[in-house]
Structure 1
């Protein structure tokens, strides 16, 4: 006979053994999942470096890279306390993004002006943003493979090439990294709200804004995530509370917006040429263009010219109708498929700062603007397709096969697209081939050819740029430089003057015109006083610390017989030229100083 006591102990032992077995299985599952997550991360890293690792062997390109790096004395000087102060108190490249500026200073201080190291920094930041996106989406939704797929598409879509491979777009990948960290910090805050966690999130958001102000719409993205998948937004009362919760973040966005508008005053001047109706039309078309490029990324270019003739009315109306229809449809489906409205509004709202209503520059649209906004589309489409096929018995196999094909195709296309950035000539030739009437591409290709001494080819592209856009200030300036190299000062002066007539703030044209007015061998063309005025306006502005600008100013002083000022200015230019490794310019300046000591202005060869 078995006693009740012994029977009770046996029951306890069985229960404990069963519980231990469950714990062991759960532990094994967690270990397997961790290895799976680690494997996904390794795969994402491998994808990024397969596509973009080649850029570590690429040079700088002649489009904005000089302004952001090797032609900016404050940048190539490296990190210093004075550099930090300058970064926070000055615009750089027409923008106020001090953390981006500091990152360029860091690269120059550590690696010098080796382009490969700067490219490496961009790829590293993009890799970090990709991994962070995967972890954030996984924690937000609990969906492992969907999160991995969205992160993979973000990592290697051809539209990412411009943001990652272009050194001047450090601001994209740096702000993207802080964007992901802000999302992670917000998720951490929502789990257990506290002042410390909110402050951490706010600091990361501020860092993102100081990397690129395009993040001004991030508080709206957080509200969208409150609706889905966090489900914190359930009615109007909670909406009011959640908006109030993000009020400090909106204040940061407003402050960043004001700083950006002040810094971009000069760049924004270009949009005055375009009426509001043209800008609104272009904005509507751009929304659909980015969607088309997401699914069919062909004929990509570093610059898409803005159509100044306006758009075909029926195309604009159709675009507006399509956008309205998508918006209405996602709202109607918000209860059953909330990820659709969240993903769509993520895309729409994040593009607003750069969609072109406030036109900065001459581009109609730009690949780099999709860096963060298209994550919303990837999210919505991925969850929608997965849910549609979830009831199909063979869905896992079909989805896996489709994902592999899509990722492999995009990776291959992106690797080819990235290869066009191997040198500036190839980049601009591809841009000219993929667009029409692209005066900016012709002007920049002409600039490159001038530097290579291919004068006749440069003149041909300059003339094509001027034919397309007679008021292209850069093309007119380059045409002047081409004629100057041919010894035709008369025609050079004409085009420098035309460049300044189109844009009185063109610093290159001011400096080049000052050089001719100060050094021409023809006395009838010299005008020392105007040369000093032009060169001083550049040297005391954005051209401060540029040895070539100082060399021009010294020549202008010498033409007005201010030889003491000429010698002092030339000596300052020599110090900067030697510090930046420009020994050829330093030697030329030494010869100039020798002439100034003899009270002799310098003269260009006739």
Structure 2
């Protein structure tokens, strides 16, 4: 009987996998974009599994020496990256294949879960077709284009897979379907293990125990919830949560919240108002997944009486309430459906504090499972009614899959490369100074400094002219702009730009070094010496320190200060032992004899 059920499920599962690949096969030709450049291409952790202890003992950007706040703790995220690097190296197609496979697995998993839930509900209609229709919508839903197409979203795909697997085992156990010995063992221990891996991938996974509880109460009611037999199910989740909290606290050194927030101009009241507006935006994207281009700067709501605020408050209150009223009439799973739709979104409402782009489609990935469940339950309910309403409803949902698939392909396209991604962001929001800055950086890497200069200047102007300028982005643009000036041969502008930047960041060693180079080329040797000294004091890079002391020696020689020059060259040699150029310079000053 079990084998017969698998045979019946084989065709829908194959169709779901084909649907995923028919929409997203083009992503196999995409590259590394946005955060991938730092988290993958610039991540030393990926080079060896021996780095796993360090990965588990620090925050998500601990692979960088400094400059990042300890905000997130997602060690399993980088373990997956290590495995992908071990198999594919830096061949992007292999990484994208993993994303497609994970989305395929999740789509099939959604089908099995929906079929099980509908069978357990016994709504008087076949569970296979509604479950397939719901899973098909999940597989091609346009908001899922971002997590499927972007490599950095592998955490979203994998934590959802683990949560789905844990929930499926729990659902079978609650419904008394785990009759075999290995299933009983699996249902008691494996879900908690999956939960642990999931929260180590993404904090959003903390919603899993509440989702399990919603199903437990839907099937068995609240009576006896605190009995030993039922309560033991949640003790393992509590133990995992305690372990996770301890690991996170240790890795982040007790800093659970960022010390510096973006959009700091928002008062607590305004922050809450924008969280409501963001939640309404997510609800809209689930139902009407059009628009919402990637990487859009926040357009804040500052008054409760603004039209957008009024509509958002109404949507956030009315939509869940109306859905709950309707669902309670047709299924006991109403609370479960609402929990899966709403709960995974709630942790993301803090994103205005830590991200320039608070809205992101990927945050809806788990929530689309709830939407698929809603669709499947509604189809089963219509199918059990007299007449042809069930067929019409099923046909309508299956017909919606095609435009959804086309829109998903369209929303996937910007993630092909940095240029297409930031181009799409800028086309949708012409004042997006982050997009302009990023395109300028791309031009600079390509050896097009003249175009880069123009765009960096535009980015800085757009940022500073905004009602609420972004201070950290201003600093970043001011830091990179002098490099573009230098490479474009505009040293006079580079000099002025560096001096302005160093007033804001008086401990930036590379900028002191670059300004010193300009002064040295102009013949202002004393000014250059002072700047090289500051570069040497502030840098933690021995190579930069060696170059600063070497150039300092050259400046001293130009000033006729032979002894000072020799001391500088010797200090350079101490920072770069055995350097032949420095040795030759010291030898020419000391004359014949043994070299140091």
TM-score class normalised by the smaller sequence:
0.7 to 0.9
For 1:56, the equivalent position in structure 2 comes to 28
Match of 1:246 among 206, 209, 234: 234
Contact 2:130-2:375 within 8 A present in 1 as well: no
For 1:200, the equivalent position in structure 2 comes to 190
Q: Size of the alignment, in residue pairs?
A: 527
2:205 is aligned with 1:215: yes
Match of 2:573 among 539, 564, 567: 564
For 1:151, the equivalent position in structure 2 comes to 135
| 1:496-541 residue CA offsets vs partner (Å, 9 max, x unmatched) | 676687789xxxx9464254156443442552343234431xx6xx
2:220 is aligned with 1:232: yes
Contact 1:119-1:165 within 8 A present in 2 as well: yes
Match of 1:65 among 32, 36, 40: 36
Q: Looking at both structures, which has the greater relative contact order when contacts are Cα pairs under 8 Å and sequence separation is at least 6?
A: 2
For 2:171, the equivalent position in structure 1 comes to 187
For 1:482, the equivalent position in structure 2 comes to 484
* Structure 1 pair 334–169 and aligned structure 2 pair: CA distance change class (3 A): closer
* Structure 1 pair 237–296 and aligned structure 2 pair: CA distance change class (3 A): closer
Contact 1:340-1:384 within 8 A present in 2 as well: no
Alpha-carbon distance between aligned partners in 2 of 1:149 and 1:333, rounded to the nearest angstrom? 20
- The alignment's C-alpha RMSD in Å is 3.3
| 1:323-355 residue CA offsets vs partner (Å, 9 max, x unmatched) | 222333344456424434432232222111111
Further displaced range: 385-394 or 469-478:
385-394
Alpha-carbon distance between aligned partners in 1 of 2:115 and 2:208, rounded to the nearest angstrom? 19
1:197 partner SS: helix
* 1:491 to partner: Cα distance: 3.8
Match of 2:298 among 281, 286, 306: 306
* 1:552 to partner: Cα distance: 3.7
For 2:14, the equivalent position in structure 1 comes to 42
Alpha-carbon distance between aligned partners in 1 of 2:498 and 2:115, rounded to the nearest angstrom? 57
For 2:417, the equivalent position in structure 1 comes to 423
* TM alignment of 1:532-551, pairs within 5 A: 532-536=536-540, 551=543
Further displaced range: 107-116 or 243-252:
243-252
TM-score, normalized by length of structure 1?
0.78
1:106 partner SS: helix
Alpha-carbon distance between aligned partners in 1 of 2:516 and 2:427, rounded to the nearest angstrom? 40
| 1:215-264 residue CA offsets vs partner (Å, 9 max, x unmatched) | 12221111122233xx1233485599856742442454466465487677
For 2:591, the equivalent position in structure 1 comes to none
Alpha-carbon distance between aligned partners in 1 of 2:512 and 2:573, rounded to the nearest angstrom? 19
* TM alignment of 1:342-361, pairs within 5 A: 342-356=336-350, 359-361=353-355
Contact 2:298-2:357 within 8 A present in 1 as well: yes
For 1:80, the equivalent position in structure 2 comes to 49
* Structure 1 pair 267–154 and aligned structure 2 pair: CA distance change class (3 A): farther
* Structure 1 pair 386–197 and aligned structure 2 pair: CA distance change class (3 A): closer
* Structure 1 pair 227–453 and aligned structure 2 pair: CA distance change class (3 A): same
* TM alignment of 1:330-349, pairs within 5 A: 330-333=323-326, 335-336=328-329, 337-349=331-343
Match of 2:144 among 143, 160, 165: 160
TM-score, normalized by length of structure 2?
0.79
Further displaced range: 49-58 or 465-474:
465-474
Q: Which runs of 5+ in 2 are unaligned?
A: 62-70, 120-126, 465-470, 553-567, 587-596
Contact 1:299-1:434 within 8 A present in 2 as well: no
For 1:169, the equivalent position in structure 2 comes to 153
Contact 1:563-1:599 within 8 A present in 2 as well: no
Contact 1:218-1:350 within 8 A present in 2 as well: no
For 2:272, the equivalent position in structure 1 comes to 280
Match of 2:449 among 455, 459, 463: 455
Alpha-carbon distance between aligned partners in 2 of 1:449 and 1:392, rounded to the nearest angstrom? 64
1:113 partner SS: coil
For 2:321, the equivalent position in structure 1 comes to 328
Contact 1:232-1:238 within 8 A present in 2 as well: no
Alpha-carbon distance between aligned partners in 2 of 1:361 and 1:532, rounded to the nearest angstrom? 34
Match of 1:104 among 81, 106, 115: 81
